[in-house]
Amino acid sequence: MINNNHYVAIMAGGIGSRFWPMSRTAYPKQFLDILNMGRTLIQGTYDRFKKFIPEENIYIVTSEEYVEIVKEQLPELALSNIIAEPSRKNTAPCIAYISYKLQQINDKGALICAPADHLILDETAFKKVCLEALSFVTAHKALVTLGIKPSHPNTGYGYIQFEQQPATDNVYKVKTFTEKPNLDLAKTFVSSGEFLWNAGIFAWQIKNIISAFEKHLPEMAEVFEAGKSSFNTPAEKEAIDKIYPQCTNISIDYGIMEKAENVYIIPSSFGWSDLGTWNSAHDNMEKDYLGNAVTGNEVMVFDATHNMVHVPNNKLVLLQGMNDYIIVDTDDVLLICKRDKEQEIKQYVAEVKRNKGDKYL
């Protein structure tokens, strides 16, 4: 039974620079079919939520410059459910905006906030955990985050430590947040069994996240409070254009979750990846017998292993003697980079900007 008090905000404003050169400022990764699955990442996320959230309660929060792409990719979505941010200010202002907007519509609502560009393979398990989270936050004054049981000591994710005694079935009080640790620390975290990966998927009652803004980010709460009577009216855009320049650029994790007392976590396993990098794409794609993950229907491989290859369908690419490389070919950029250097792609993109301007970004 779908509950009309349940809402979701899909956050789709990022630029995905570690997936360059496929992901560009004008057309970032959430709008791409990175894994060759037949649906883009944002379409997959929308499909996943509409199975248990009323479609009129699904909102996309994105940058003004991507509104047309969202309309094109999700034509079934009402225009009023596409929320345009005038500038990128990280996740706290984005969540404040949707929360104050929804408070004007339904102050009894419970809200899930989730990124548009994650991969989730087990949708049944995902639905079950989301409904558990919504049920818990409806009954308690709690902020809930979904934690992923770690499969290996990954240094690209944040970690959350939780108390070992559950507060209720499968819901645990959070003890500490740790940003991306070094490898030794990540190994210690994983072997202790007390830590989960931070998936960046949250649930709370709208009134309770607004209380948390008032307590932990009072200046931000104040500007949204002052402008909220314009929300859901023709004056909304003008109000938000005034509000955003006054907002600090800060994540919800730093701004609220790490400070609040009432934070809980649900340990989850639903085949999750944040698809942050080309290696995470390689991990989640079908591979040939030599471990190459290939997108492109005219690729020939000779004596080459464990490569991530993403090339146009109509282009013959012959690959010989390369092992553990990322090879991505677009109309105007060819990237050839060792897989173990993928965390440096962001720096390479900054160098491209410095030397070549914005043309290739």
Q: What is the CATH number of the domain that holds 196?
A: 3.90.550.10
Task: Report if residue 175 sits inside a domain.
Answer: yes
What is the pLDDT tens value at each position of the chain, 361 positions in all?
A: 788 899 999 999 888 788 999 999 899 999 998 888 889 999 999 999 999 999 999 999 999 999 999 999 999 999 999 999 999 999 999 999 999 999 999 989 999 999 999 999 999 999 999 999 999 999 999 999 999 988 888 878 888 988 888 888 889 998 888 888 788 888 888 878 888 898 999 999 999 999 999 999 999 999 999 999 999 999 999 999 999 999 999 999 899 998 999 999 999 989 888 888 899 899 889 999 999 999 988 999 999 999 999 999 889 999 999 999 999 999 999 999 999 998 889 899 999 999 999 999 9
Closest-CA residue to 294 (of 328, 253, 340)? 328
> Is the domain of 59 the same as that of 208?
yes
Q: Is 175 in the same domain as 132?
A: yes
- In a shared domain, residues 68 and 31: yes
Looking at the structure, tell me whether residues 242 and 307 fall in a common domain.
no
CA 310 to CA 152: how far, in whole Å?
26
123 inside domain? yes
The dihedral region occupied by 96, where left means phi > 0, alpha psi between -120 and 50, and beta the remainder, is: alpha
* Structural domain contains residue 361: no
pLDDT of residue 301: 95
* Alpha-carbon gap, residue 30 to 137, rounded angstroms: 28
Q: What pLDDT does residue 228 have?
A: 92
Q: Do 269 and 332 reside in the same domain of the chain?
A: no
Which backbone phi and psi does 196 adopt, to 5 degrees? Answer: -125, 155
Last residue of a domain, one of 227, 243, 273: 273
- Which long-range contacts (C-beta less than 8 Å, at least 24 apart) are formed by 174-178? 174/145, 174/257, 174/263, 174/264, 174/265, 177/253, 177/257, 177/258
Domain identity same for 241 and 321:
no
Residues 251, 299: one domain?
no
Domain assignment present for 68: yes
Quick check: is 72 in a domain?
yes
Q: 344 and 240, same structural domain? A: no
Domain count, the chain: 2
Determine, yes or no, domain membership for 319: yes
C-alpha distances in Å from residue 361, one per residue of 28, 34, 315: 10, 17, 22
Among 223, 245, 273, give the residue marking a domain's end.
Answer: 273
pLDDT of residue 36: 83
- The residue out of 229, 257, 273 marking a domain boundary is 273
C-alpha 257/C-alpha 176 separation (Å) is 10
Same domain assignment for residues 287 and 180:
no
Q: Which two tokens stand for residue 44?
A: 């997959």
Residue 1, in any domain of the structure: no
258 with 282, same domain?
Answer: no
Q: Are residues 171 and 125 in the same domain?
A: yes
Evaluate whether residue 336 is within a structural domain.
yes
User: Residue 152: which domain range?
Assistant: 6-273
> pLDDT tens for residues 44-101?
999 999 999 999 999 999 999 999 999 999 999 999 999 999 999 999 999 999 999 9
99 and 160 together in one domain: yes
Task: Name residue 328's beta-bridge partners.
Answer: 310, 335
